[in-house]
């Protein structure tokens, strides 16, 4: 028995409720559901990457601290690859920072720039980690919605039809606004912002001297007919105020390795670096070597194009099923999530839900039922909205398709049982 009952946690963490991942990932395990919830792969990283990780363990020096900015091999590989992407010669010494996953890179950026009360514009839905990353660093998230078209419940829409109202964005700016977060390809919508949209956001940032933090962790995964990924940092002079975020885990099916990066001008990167040095000091060394091997390989071979082809097929396995069920969804232009409109599904009235779902959005109940009764786990997207906006997500469930074709086919077989419940 503890004798320390009176010890209170810090206010910055005391209000956190159980996050969606720690509810649905264990639930999927417990119920033996096929887990299309949390976005992680059930297949191995490319052999060249996996082997490089194993080889790195055998090199004494690769088991020790890395340079706090990231290992030279990885920063050089990133510079070679991303100089093409950013249409400028990147300096691996000052313009690239290797981080302990994209998430820690974003945390370090907030830590490096936010003072108490500074406001950060986040588009709703947002990737859930942004919010605690902002508040733990004294900042205040301010929300602006991405809205689907009004007939989204009646037809399949493109993720491109979810739009940001620029006037609404402008109306959220105050003297406290410091930063705006962009997420493209977007989780959970799959939207890839086009150049005009990015330029319009950029104009607002310029007008109010805001930093743009562009979360581009799915930058290597966008679907035809898109053949290029537009980057906000490449537009006009926006490089000067933009930090772009990348992910080794997403790029090489290694989400547990926690290797990500920030790319941006020295005058911004140096403050994120200052914060990160005091959080993790440096990043996992052998996995940096392995991610470097992957990036190097991508300079020689169509590694990412092959991945796009594979994921295009995976996306179609799920989309065909929902077409067949006549359940409308958002067809993503990028990333690996399918947002399905569940309003036609009727959960039997006598189905019982656990207490833990009481203070949650209605979509939690739908995803719980899908997991427990249909045997396929999906994520309720109200987790990606502020509480007052949970109803905006009530009719959606997010299915991740970063799984083997075989597992996706098995999920399809189970989801066919939905037919009986569709009104």
Q: Considering the complex, what minimum distance in angstroms separates the CB of residue 36 from ligand GLN? A: 10
Nearer to ligand GLN, 187 or 382 (CB): 187
Nearer to ligand GLN, 66 or 284 (CB): 284
The CA-atom distances, in angstroms, between 44 and each of 56, 70, 377, 400 are: 17, 24, 21, 17
Q: Considering the complex, what minimum distance in angstroms separates the CB of residue 186 from ligand GLN? A: 11
If we measure between CA atoms, which residue out of 82, 107, 108, 104 comes closest to residue 95? 82
Distance between CA atoms of 237 and 231, rounded to whole angstroms?
12
Q: Considering the complex, what minimum distance in angstroms separates the CB of residue 103 from ligand GLN? A: 7
Nearer to ligand GLN, 43 or 65 (CB): 43
Q: How many CA atoms does the CB half-sphere of 166 hold within 13 Å? A: 10
Q: Which residues pair with 245 in a beta bridge?
A: 215, 262
Question: Is residue 143 part of the contact set for ligand GLN (CB under 6 A)?
Answer: no
Nearer to ligand GLN, 95 or 219 (CB): 219
Adjacency order of strands within the sheet including 242-247: 96-99, 260-263, 242-247, 211-215, 177-183, 119-124, 140-147, 163-164
Residues 135, 187, 214, 285: which binds ligand GLN (CB under 6 A)? 187
Nearer to ligand GLN, 22 or 237 (CB): 22
Q: Considering the complex, what minimum distance in angstroms separates the CB of residue 108 from ligand GLN? A: 17
How many beta carbons lie within 10 A of that of residue 180, not counting itself? 28
Nearer to ligand GLN, 21 or 143 (CB): 21
Q: Considering the complex, what minimum distance in angstroms separates the CB of residue 339 from ligand GLN? A: 12
Cis, peptide link before residue 188, omega less than 30° from 0:
yes
Q: Considering the complex, what minimum distance in angstroms separates the CB of residue 274 from ligand GLN? A: 25
Strands 329-331 and 337-341: antiparallel
Distance between CA atoms of 376 and 35, rounded to whole angstroms?
6
Nearer to ligand GLN, 139 or 381 (CB): 381
Q: Considering the complex, what minimum distance in angstroms separates the CB of residue 193 from ligand GLN? A: 18
Distance between CA atoms of 71 and 102, rounded to whole angstroms?
16
Total of chain residues touching ligand GLN, rule CB under 6 A:
6
Distance between CA atoms of 47 and 254, rounded to whole angstroms?
12
If we measure between CA atoms, which residue out of 25, 13, 33, 38 comes closest to residue 399? 38
x-or-dash string of contact with ligand GLN, 3-42, rule CB under 6 A: ------------------x----------------xx---
x-or-dash string of contact with ligand GLN, 35-74, rule CB under 6 A: ---xx-----------------------------------
DSSP string, 205-265: HHHTT-EEEEE-TTTT-B-TT--S---GGGSTTGGGGEEEEEEHHHHTT-TTS--EEEE--
Radius of gyration of the chain (CA): 21
Q: Considering the complex, what minimum distance in angstroms separates the CB of residue 337 from ligand GLN? A: 7
Nearer to ligand GLN, 177 or 187 (CB): 187
Q: What is the DSSP letter of 359?
A: T
Nearer to ligand GLN, 123 or 204 (CB): 123
Instruction: Please answer whether residues 409 and 391 qualify as being in contact, where contact means their C-beta atoms are separated by less than 8 angstroms.
Output: no
Nearer to ligand GLN, 187 or 285 (CB): 187
Q: Considering the complex, what minimum distance in angstroms separates the CB of residue 169 from ligand GLN? A: 24
Q: Considering the complex, what minimum distance in angstroms separates the CB of residue 218 from ligand GLN? A: 9
Residues numbered 383 to 402 that lie near ligand GLN (CB under 6 A) are: 400
How many beta carbons lie within 10 A of that of residue 6, not counting itself? 5
- Ranked by CB distance to ligand GLN, the top (closest) residue is 39
Binding site residues, ligand GLN, CB under 6 A: 21, 38-39, 129, 187, 400
């Amino acid at each position: 028995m503890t004798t320390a009952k009176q010890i209170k946690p810090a206010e910055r963490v005391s209000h956190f409720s159980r996050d969606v991942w720690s509810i649905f990932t264990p639930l999927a395990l417990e119920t033996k559901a096929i887990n299309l919830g949390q976005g992680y792969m059930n297949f191995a990283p490319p052999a060249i990457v996996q082997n490089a990780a194993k080889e790195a363990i055998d090199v004494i020096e690769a088991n020790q601290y890395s340079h706090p900015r990231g290992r030279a091999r990885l920063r050089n590989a990133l510079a070679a690859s991303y100089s093409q992407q950013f249409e400028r010669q990147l300096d691996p010494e000052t313009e690239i920072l290797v981080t302990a996953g994209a998430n820690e890179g974003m945390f370090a950026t907030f830590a490096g720039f936010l003072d108490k009360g500074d406001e950060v514009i986040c588009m709703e839905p947002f990737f859930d980690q942004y919010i605690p990353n902002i508040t733990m660093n004294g900042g205040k998230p301010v929300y602006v919605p991405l809205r689907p078209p009004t007939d989204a419940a009646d037809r399949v829409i493109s993720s491109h039809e979810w739009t940001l109202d620029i006037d609404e964005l402008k109306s959220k700016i105050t003297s406290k606004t410091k930063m705006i977060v962009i997420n493209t390809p977007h989780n959970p919508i799959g939207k890839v912002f086009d150049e005009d949209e990015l330029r319009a956001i950029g104009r607002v940032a310029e007008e109010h001297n805001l930093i743009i933090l562009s979360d581009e962790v799915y930058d290597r995964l966008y679907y035809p007919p898109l053949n290029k990924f537009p980057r906000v940092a490449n537009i006009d002079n926006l490089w000067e105020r933009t930090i772009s975020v990348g992910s080794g885990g997403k790029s090489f099916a290694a989400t547990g390795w926690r290797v990500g990066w920030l790319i941006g001008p020295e005058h911004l990167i140096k403050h994120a670096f200052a914060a990160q040095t005091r959080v993790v000091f440096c990043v996992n060394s052998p996995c940096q070597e392995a991610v470097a091997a992957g990036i190097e390989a991508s300079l020689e071979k169509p590694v990412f194009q092959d991945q796009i082809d594979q994921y295009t097929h995976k996306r179609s396995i799920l989309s065909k099923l929902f077409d067949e069920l006549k359940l409308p969804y958002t067809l993503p232009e990028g990333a690996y999530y399918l947002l399905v409109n569940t309003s036609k599904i009727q959960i039997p009235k006598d189905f019982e839900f656990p207490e833990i779902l009481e203070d949650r959005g209605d979509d939690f109940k739908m995803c719980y039922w899908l997991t427990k009764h249909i045997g396929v786990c999906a994520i309720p997207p109200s987790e990606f909205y502020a509480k007052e906006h949970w109803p905006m997500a009530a009719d959606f469930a997010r299915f991740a398709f970063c799984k083997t074709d075989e597992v996706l086919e098995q999920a399809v077989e189970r989801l066919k049982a939905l037919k009986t419940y569709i009104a």
